[in-house]
Amino acid sequence: MENPSFQSAEASKSGLIEESFNTRYSSWVREALDELPDNFTITDPCLSGHPIVFASRGFLKMTGYSKEEVIGKNGRVFQGPETNRRSVMEIREAIREERPVQINLLNYRKNGSPFWILFHMTPVFGKEDGSVVHFVAVQVPISGERWRSRRSGSSLAEDWPDQRETVFGPCRKEVCSGSLLDQDRSLPLDWDCRASESDIPCEARESEKLRAVAAINTILSVLTHYSELTGKLVCGKRCCLPRPAVLSSSLIISLGRIKQSFVLTNPCVPDMPIVYASDAFLILTGYDRHEVLGRNCRFLSGVDTDSSILYQIKESIRHDRSCTVRILNYRKDKSAFWNLLHISPVRNASGKIAYFVGVQVEDGCKNGDKQGLSPDMRQLGVVAAVKVAVRSSSMNIGMATAQ
């Protein structure tokens, strides 16, 4: 029997994925996307793990996976031992820089068989604030693919006709189980790095490149149309500069790897709004992400919250120092809980305070830390991870600006 807390977490994750689409587009968008003949996925960088939130019928047919096996997974589940790591890094750089990329890529079907695709990915921007809300990735199969391993001088399919499923199948199953999803690497450590360099890459034809561009434009048109019906417009190009409260995709993805409950607030914006909320925070409080972002943290307070504790927090922030308090907070359903709250300033690479992080640990919660760490150690660990993510992100932005 599965752990109830695991089932609850999975249900919450599924709800966040549904929210990813439902709050941005009208309910008819999925049906419209399903009618498109192209092979594509849509991912959400704002969700932990940058998961797939939509997969087209053509994509599922091409890879052999079911929708349930794909939704909620990171796109690296389709990579394998012969996938070129440099190509993967190019995709990651494009995500970090929030720009389109088109590249030849070797992927793997569910049964372990490899196939070449032209991978074309582009960001989808929110029109009101310039933030990246989704990435659309079109995969066009490269026809007449021919690739050989220099180690053997013959094709992989010819060398291993009976062993292909034995070799690659378990890798597919392991990845689909989610055991690798929390690791920041695209390939297991024991795979041979030289394999990706020993294969002759398959080049896409000009017609296939044009097909990928046409598919991207069609998908963006559908998303734009159905976002107009909700008033939360999206566009294929950034229509305005990101607001100060908008985080970069790379920072959001880095923060999404932190599994504890925390929020990030921006002291440079009036009323110090929340600019990031972890999945664990949403589960703890019962709020949806769109109900949290842009609000001051005091919305968690209620009639019995001690005002002297609120004053202590305010003074700590005013003097740019950390503090730890025990405060009575309230969930969305109005139920109260004691929150062991730790607040700390977070500086960017230049040493300036860019954010404050607030880490929440529910006092008396039975589902405590599996590693046996005390609440204060868990909080300090989150703070350290957030500081590394923010500094790395600000350094990358500075380097990109200098170039």
Q: Is residue 301 part of a domain?
A: yes
Same domain flag for 371 and 293: yes
Q: Is residue 244 part of a domain?
A: no
Name residue, tokens 């970069």.
Answer: 248
The pLDDT, as a whole number, for residue 144 is 61
The pLDDT, as a whole number, for residue 238 is 83
The pLDDT, as a whole number, for residue 250 is 86
Query: Is the pTM above the cut of 0.85?
Result: no
CATH code, 105: 3.30.450.20
Q: Is residue 185 part of a domain?
A: yes
Q: How far is CA 175 from CA 21, 224, 244, 275, 293, in A?
A: 25, 33, 37, 31, 32
The pLDDT, as a whole number, for residue 184 is 42
The pLDDT, as a whole number, for residue 1 is 46
Residues 325, 305: contact at Cβ < 8 Å?
Answer: no
Beta pairing partners, 121: 101, 137
Supply the range of the domain harboring residue 203: 4-235
**234 by DSSP, 3-state: which?**
strand
Same domain flag for 166 and 257: no
Contacts of 398 (CB under 8 A, 6+ apart): 349, 350
Q: How far is CA 45 from CA 236, 250, 379, in A?
A: 16, 8, 24
Residue type, 101: V
- Tens of pLDDT along the chain (403 residues) come to 445 444 455 555 677 787 778 888 998 999 999 999 999 999 999 888 899 999 999 999 999 999 999 999 999 899 999 999 999 999 999 998 899 999 999 999 999 999 999 999 999 999 888 889 999 999 999 976 444 433 344 444 444 334 444 344 444 444 444 433 344 444 443 334 344 433 456 788 999 999 999 999 999 999 999 999 888 899 998 877 666 667 888 899 999 999 999 999 999 889 999 999 999 999 999 998 889 999 999 999 999 999 999 999 999 999 999 999 999 999 999 999 999 999 999 998 889 999 999 999 999 876 655 666 788 899 999 999 999 999 887 766 544 444 4
Tokens (6 digits) for 326 = 């025990």
Q: How many Å apart are CA 129 and CA 240, to the nearest integer?
A: 7
Positive or negative, the CA dihedral 35, 37, 41, 44 is negative
What proportions of the chain, in percent to the nearest 5, are helix, strand and coil? 40, 20, 40
Same domain flag for 67 and 184: yes
- The string of DSSP codes covering 107-155 is EE-TTS-EEEEEEEEEEEEETTT--EEEEEEEEEEPTT----BTTTSS-
Same domain flag for 201 and 262: no
Q: Is residue 241 part of a domain?
A: no
Q: Is residue 190 part of a domain?
A: yes
Split into its structural domains, the chain has a count of 2
- The string of DSSP codes covering 36-60 is --S-EEEE-TTSTT--EEEE-HHHH
Same domain flag for 180 and 124: yes
Which candidate, 119, 168, 122, places its Cα nearest to that of 141?
A: 119
Q: Is residue 240 part of a domain?
A: no
Residues 126, 231: contact at Cβ < 8 Å?
Answer: no
Q: Is residue 242 part of a domain?
A: no
Q: Is residue 206 part of a domain?
A: yes
**103 by DSSP, 3-state: which?**
strand
Same domain flag for 170 and 283: no
Q: How many Å apart are CA 226 and CA 214, to the nearest integer?
A: 19
The pLDDT, as a whole number, for residue 191 is 39
